[in-house]
């Protein structure tokens, strides 16, 4: 009995091993066939554009290089150039209007060779937009006349850009006046961009590349620093100096006259403060000068310019105090 049971188990084990080998062979065969198919499709895409492929906006999905070049060369009949200018201005002109003909589409080969052949299974589900350097012939005189009539290239209608700057408001504080973008184009450069777009069969020409923009904007760090420094000094206005029987007040206008703005920082000018001290001295000093004096009786007498009587401004100390 034991011998018979062992024999059955041995036969069953052999059968299972054979079945396992068959499954492994089938799996290997399936993987091999799948790999060959994957490679075959990849090889096919060496010579054909993948699905969802376009060159310069023209669909070339599934086409060979020769077919794609033919389609691209025929694009002149449906070509439209859109020119975008400042302030949302735009204009367009067509290939037939320019008597255009695409003469060279050989750069399409670069697009074909750039396909991710080894990962085609993933790539076929993505949109692929290629830019090819096409070359075209066209009527340059027609294009020149068309550009002459573009309002965006009319220099007399262009607005010059203005940098953001500081301005003192009625309240006395300094505020930032925003920049003005303007619409000033470097005309010859703009015309060159349009001509280049046509000769290379580009659908758009953005003249922002030829626009002159402001150099200083409202968020410029230096401008913000200067605003803060101006207002910081002006907020300290109101300091009063009692001199003899009169007084001098450092109000906003006086302080503003003492400041120096070098375009990067605002500082109190020692030279201007020294000059102000000289003015105060001439205005108030009575030491060793003849000056009127009111007596207890109400009479006005003039003190002769001698002796130690009178007021003398300590210019150096007062200057340092102001600084």
CATH architecture, range 221-322: Roll (3.10)
SS (H, E, C) the chain: CHHHHHHHHHHHHHHHHHHHHHHHHHHHHHHHHHHHHHHHHHHHCCCECCCCEEECCEECCCCEHHHHHHHHHHHHHHCEEEEECHHHCEEEEECHHHCCEEEECCCHHHHHHCCCHHHHHHHCCCCEEECCCCEEECCHHHHHHHHHCCHHHCHHHCCCCECCEEEECCCCCEEEECCECCCCECHHHHHHHHHHHHHCCCCEEEHHHHECCCCCCCCCHHHHHHHHHHHHHHCCCCEEEEECCEEEEECHHHHHHHEEECCCCEEECHHHHHHHHHHHHHHHCCCCCCEEEECCCCCEEEECCCCCCCCCCCHHHHHHHHC
Q: What is the pLDDT along the chain (323 residues), one digit of tens a residue?
A: 445 555 555 555 776 777 676 777 777 777 777 778 888 777 888 898 988 888 887 889 889 999 999 999 888 888 999 999 988 899 999 999 999 999 998 889 998 888 877 777 777 778 888 888 889 999 999 999 999 999 999 999 999 999 999 998 888 788 999 999 999 999 999 999 999 999 988 889 999 999 999 999 999 999 999 998 888 888 776 677 777 677 777 777 788 878 888 888 988 878 887 787 777 777 766 666 666 667 777 777 666 655 566 566 666 777 666 66
Q: Where are the domains of the chain?
A: 53-210, 221-322
Claim: this prediction has a pTM higher than 0.85? no
């Amino acid at each position: 009995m034991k011998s018979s049971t062992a024999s059955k188990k041995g036969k069953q084990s052999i059968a299972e091993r054979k079945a396992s080998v068959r499954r492994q062979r089938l799996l290997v065969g399936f993987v091999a066939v799948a790999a060959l198919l994957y490679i075959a499709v990849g090889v096919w895409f060496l010579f054909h554009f993948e699905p969802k492929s376009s060159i310069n906006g023209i669909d070339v999905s599934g086409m060979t290089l020769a077919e794609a070049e033919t389609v691209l060369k025929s694009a002149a009949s449906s070509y439209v150039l859109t020119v975008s200018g400042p302030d949302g201005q735009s204009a367009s002109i067509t290939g037939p209007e320019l008597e255009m003909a695409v003469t060279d589409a050989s750069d399409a080969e670069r697009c074909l060779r750039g396909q991710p052949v080894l990962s085609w299974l993933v790539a076929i589900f993505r949109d692929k937009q290629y830019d090819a350097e096409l070359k075209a012939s066209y009527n340059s005189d027609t294009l020149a006349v068309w550009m002459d009539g573009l309002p965006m290239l009319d220099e007399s209608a262009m607005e010059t850009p203005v940098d953001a700057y500081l301005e003192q408001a009625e309240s006395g504080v300094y505020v930032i006046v925003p920049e003005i973008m303007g619409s000033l184009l470097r005309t010859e450069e703009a015309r060159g961009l349009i001509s280049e777009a046509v000769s290379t069969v580009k659908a758009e020409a953005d003249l922002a590349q030829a626009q002159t923009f402001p150099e200083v904007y409202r968020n410029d760090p230096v401008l913000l620093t200067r605003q803060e420094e101006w207002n910081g000094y002006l907020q300290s206005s109101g300091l009063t100096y009692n001199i003899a029987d009169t007084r001098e007040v450092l109000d906003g206008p006086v302080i503003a006259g003492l400041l120096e703005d070098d375009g990067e920082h605002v500082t109190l000018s020692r030279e201007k403060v020294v000059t102000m001290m000289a003015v105060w001295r001439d205005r108030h000093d009575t030491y060793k000068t003849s000056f009127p004096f009111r007596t207890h009786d109400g009479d006005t007498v003039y003190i002769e310019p001698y002796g130690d009587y009178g007021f003398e401004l300590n210019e150096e100390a007062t200057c340092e105090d102001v600084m």
